[in-house]
Amino acid sequence: MELPTKVLIGSGVISKLGDFVEESTGDRRVVIAAGSNVTSKVKRAVEAALHAEPIWVEVTAADTGNVDRVIAASSGSGSIIGVGGGKSVDVGKLAAFRMHLPFFSVPTSASHDGISSPFASLKGLDRPYSVMAKPPVGILADIDVIASAPRRLLASGCGDLVSKLTAVKDWELAHRVTGEYYGSYSASLALMSANAVLDRSKTLGRFGKDSVRDLVEALISTGVAAGIAGSSRPCSGSEHLFSHYLDMLAPESGLHGEKCGLGTIMMAKLHGLDWKRVRSALKNVGAPTGASQIGVDDSMVVESLVKASSIRPDRYTILSRRKLTRATAAALAKSTGVI
């Protein structure tokens, strides 16, 4: 198991970033992967905390080209820090993995569980889904900063959390059908995070600072669940395969957690779960429950349902068992209100 060794969550903790990094590495020379908006928002606070002028690399996309730029800038540095949302964290994480450097995750939003997981999802790799890297050495989450993020990003994080409900069901199914290893502890940890949204969606959807802290802690826990399992199984199932295929058809439409949320509604119905409860929870937090809300055509939803399992033939899920046709996929999407 590879797990984060330090986690610091609280209001104003970004001011402690320098000590946080130095206590783990003994070195404040860092490269920071961050988007332009994030850089302008926290640059002064980050540099003041580090008591040094780090090398900033602007992340323009979650792809291998940006990973290469971070790698090129990291010679002589003691660590790499990903500051921002999913793009910056994933780019920094994979760059650090390839350079054998410690990686620190400093999320400025809580849009998905990549802030703590050992996986990175990038374009330009040889597969359209997440690849194994390493978990962050440390995670520093400033609730003041994250609570000021657009609500859409926070709602997307809730979509990624509820997806653990069907991911774990797919894992259980694979265990029964194929004999694949199933870890009940990591599965329980992932389900606890999903239930945090399902049970408290109305309160969570207000996104006050207490709710944002709960959201961040739940997302970190799911990343830890993946680290314990040694795979993405407790966090990623048929709903993620649907999301990944939809990414290929409509790469600019919708956030990762939004697409996973839509997939979870439909996969929950296939599993015989309370899909209406999933849909209601997503509505309560302001996440989309229909494809049109993220600008995706009905035909793309249907094609993604039919072909999603082809992305990872080795990963047995409910889609492997049900083998949807276009007609049955369209009926599923319509019956759940996704199209």
Domain CATH number, residue 302: 1.20.1090.10
Q: Measuring CA to CA, which residue among 158, 241, 151, 226 is closest to residue 190?
A: 226
> Which residue type sits at 278?
V
Residue 1 lies in a domain: no
Under a CB-based contact definition with an 8 Å cutoff, are residues 14 and 45 in contact? yes
Domain boundary among 147, 173, 189: 147
Instruction: Tell me the whole-structure pTM to 2 decimals.
Output: 0.94
40-70 per-position pLDDT tens digit: 889 999 999 998 889 999 999 989 999 999 9
Average pLDDT, the chain: 94
289 and 181 belong to one structural domain: yes
118 and 10 belong to one structural domain: yes
Between residues 294 and 129, which one has the greater pLDDT? 294
**pLDDT value of position 211:** 95
Query: How far is C-alpha 168 from the chain's CA centre?
Result: 16
34 and 97 belong to one structural domain: yes
Taking the C-alpha atoms of residue 339 and residue 327, their distance in angstroms, rounded to an integer, is 13
Domain boundary among 147, 176, 193: 147
How many domains, in total, are found in the chain? 2
Q: Where are any strands of DSSP class E within the chain?
A: 6-10, 30-34, 55-58, 79-84, 103-107, 119-120, 131-132, 138-142
Taking the C-alpha atoms of residue 318 and residue 269, their distance in angstroms, rounded to an integer, is 10
183 and 320 belong to one structural domain: yes
**Mean pLDDT of all residues in 4-15:** 96
93 and 28 belong to one structural domain: yes
**Mean pLDDT of all residues in 168-182:** 98
111-167 per-position pLDDT tens digit: 989 899 998 888 877 676 778 888 899 999 999 999 999 999 999 999 999 999 999
176 and 275 belong to one structural domain: yes
116 and 238 belong to one structural domain: no
Taking the C-alpha atoms of residue 332 and residue 217, their distance in angstroms, rounded to an integer, is 33
175 and 91 belong to one structural domain: no
b or e along 163-202 (b: 16 or more beta carbons within 10 Å of the residue's beta carbon)?
A: bbbbbbbbbbbbbeeeebebbeebbebbbebbbbbbeebe
| Crossing angle between the packed helical segments 164-178 and 256-270, to the nearest 10 degrees | 50
Q: Which domain holds residue 38?
A: 6-147
As to burial, measured by CB atoms within 10 angstroms (0-12 exposed, 13-18 middle, 19+ buried), residue 322 is: middle
What is the domain-level CATH number for residue 73? 3.40.50.1970
Under a CB-based contact definition with an 8 Å cutoff, are residues 120 and 94 in contact? yes
**pLDDT value of position 126:** 66
HSE-CB of 196 using CA atoms within 13 angstroms? 26
Q: Is the pLDDT of residue 241 over 70?
A: yes
Assigned token pair, 327: 């007609």
> Which residue type sits at 182?
Y
12 and 140 belong to one structural domain: yes
Domain boundary among 147, 178, 202: 147
**Mean pLDDT of all residues in 23-43:** 91
**Mean pLDDT of all residues in 287-311:** 97
81-111 per-position pLDDT tens digit: 999 988 999 999 999 999 999 999 999 999 9
**pLDDT value of position 325:** 98
Taking the C-alpha atoms of residue 38 and residue 142, their distance in angstroms, rounded to an integer, is 13
**pLDDT value of position 124:** 77
162 and 232 belong to one structural domain: yes
